[in-house]
Amino acid sequence: MKLLFEKSVEGRYQDIIPNCDVPETEIPQNLRRKNSPRLPQLSEIDISRHYTELAKRTHGVNDGMYPLGSCTMKYNPKINDEMAALPGFTKIHPLQPEETVKGAWEVMDTLENYLCEITGMDKMTFQPSAGAHGEYTGLLMIKSYHLAKGNKEKNEIIVPDSAHGTNPASCTMAGFKTVTVPSDSQGCVDLEALRAAVNEHTAGLMLTNPNTVGIFDKNILEITKIIHDAGGLNYYDGANLNAIMGQVRPGDMGFDVIHLNLHKTFSTPHGGGGPGAGAVGCKNLLADFFPKVRSFNGNFGVVVRALCYVLTLGAEGVPETSANAVLNANYMRVMLKDTMDMAFDGICMHEFVASLTKLKSETGVSALDVAKAMLDYGIHPPTMYFPLIVDEALMFEPTETESKETMDQVIQALKEIIGKTKTDPEYLHGAPHTTVVRRLDEVKAAREPKLRYSFE
Ligand SMILES: *Cc1c(COP(=O)(O)O)cnc(C)c1O
């Protein structure tokens, strides 16, 4: 497929920019560019077709199921986008006089109140732009708290080995040392190991519950108490809130500061790197320590979507949503447990992890092969090779928005794929067979990113 620059034809353009209707001002000489920018020159239809062609090459929730574990790729009702696109919201400017944007403040206040109620927090900010940004913000708050208390020796954050990769990364960014504690055979925190890891350097704990293997840690009250007894604070990575919202609150589990991924649980389309919001909430003891982590008030459109979503669901819909997310994951888990080995026994929360170690040793077919074969069925693969504590991991999160019929199709597809491991493993090694591109180099894009067009 050609790039826009390669499709460009000198002099071709679309006259869509209206004439200037405000007085022109002189741009100072030193700020003027010397050469005109080398922008591609195309007509509107060329551009429209270009992006349509690109859209056809990708997979979104509108194409089919997207069970990418830990990412909550649920369907986001269109009405939320419509509300966020209302001119009263899109045509305001953060530098406008405050009294002219009171409605926007009301949106943020109302959402703050609802989310504090859902999570058991006292205060919340919508500044952080993503989950990882929220983690960083929350950790800075823990740091400021200890500094204010004169706890200079507290420089360690305890993180379970099942944690999302952003957790230890955020600890490092915030200037903490990460202390890793192992998980037990159920994927939960090993209490003995936790007790052994706690000491006078413990500034806090960072945990997601349900954890990244989709299991709710039943010892959570004991865990948060161990940290509090050592003078530390508890940080809740709330990216998995879809499993528990309306059922149980991080504030009641003993957490002092949390982030939510509004773009996951609260209905903003994500996955293409678009705007997100890692809302950070805290108990009153941390309310004085909110740092300024970005301009203005964050990605406001995400906040509008989240409010619209919460209002649509209402007090009954919020717990029903998480209950259905858990029901769907357990339905798929049970229907697939004779087809794939599950990494952990028993009831899961909103996601479950299969481990294809045995399949790989018997047939040579890997988790990667199975994931790639799913593309031929129009299904987005699950998360692969994560969490790191599970070998040959495939992690499925169906979300509450998939119907039984759709899940049955995916279950059927997976049974067919696993069936082929005996009859035609070569087919699976070569999958996908029907997509525009086949197997891509899994690391090249990260190691040698090409972020700009080279005119040479
Ligand atoms: C998605 C996720 C994050 C990171 O969120 P981003 O918005 O991608 O930065 C952190 N923790 C968990 C458990 C997640 O699933």
Residue nearest to atom 12 of ligand 1 (CA): 239
pLDDT at position 272 over 80? no
| Residue among 319, 308, 285 nearest 123 (CA) | 285
Residue nearest to atom 14 of ligand 1 (CA): 239
Question: Which residue among 135, 137, 164 is best mutated to probe the pocket of ligand 1, counting the most ligand atoms within 8 A of its Cβ?
Answer: 164
Question: Once rounded to an integer, what is the mean pLDDT over residues 400-415?
Answer: 98
Cα–Cα distances (Å) from 229 to 128, 152, 220, 251, in that order, read 30, 17, 14, 17
Predicted pLDDT of residue 91: 96
- Specify the ligand 1 atom closest to the Cα of 134: 9
Q: Is the CB of 279 under 6 A from ligand 1?
A: no
pLDDT digits (tens, 9 = 90+) for 138-157: 999 999 999 999 999 999 99
Predicted pLDDT of residue 17: 79
Query: pLDDT tier at 282 (50, 70, 90 boundaries)?
Result: very high
Q: Is the CB of 138 under 6 A from ligand 1?
A: no
Predicted pLDDT of residue 69: 95
Predicted pLDDT of residue 456: 77
- Centre of ligand 1 to C-alpha 164, Å, is 7
- Centre of ligand 1 to C-alpha 166, Å, is 7
Predicted pLDDT of residue 327: 98
Q: Is the CB of 258 under 6 A from ligand 1?
A: no
Distance CA(195)–CA(223), nearest Å, equals: 9
Predicted pLDDT of residue 186: 82
Q: Is the CB of 132 under 6 A from ligand 1?
A: yes
Predicted pLDDT of residue 58: 87
Query: pLDDT tier at 273 (50, 70, 90 boundaries)?
Result: confident
Mean pLDDT for the chain?
95
Question: Once rounded to an integer, what is the mean pLDDT over residues 297-321?
Answer: 97
pLDDT digits (tens, 9 = 90+) for 446-455: 899 888 888 8
Q: Is the CB of 164 under 6 A from ligand 1?
A: yes
Predicted pLDDT of residue 448: 92
Distance CA(305)–CA(264), nearest Å, equals: 11
- Global pTM reads 0.93
Q: Is the CB of 208 under 6 A from ligand 1?
A: yes
Q: What are 451's two structure tokens?
A: 């972020």
pLDDT digits (tens, 9 = 90+) for 335-356: 999 999 999 989 999 999 999 9
Q: Is the CB of 351 under 6 A from ligand 1?
A: no
Predicted pLDDT of residue 218: 94
pLDDT digits (tens, 9 = 90+) for 229-240: 999 999 999 999
Distance CA(260)–CA(449), nearest Å, equals: 29
Residue nearest to atom 15 of ligand 1 (CA): 70
Predicted pLDDT of residue 338: 97
End-to-end CA distance of the chain: 19
Q: Is the CB of 202 under 6 A from ligand 1?
A: no
| Residue among 247, 214, 241, 220 nearest 134 (CA) | 241
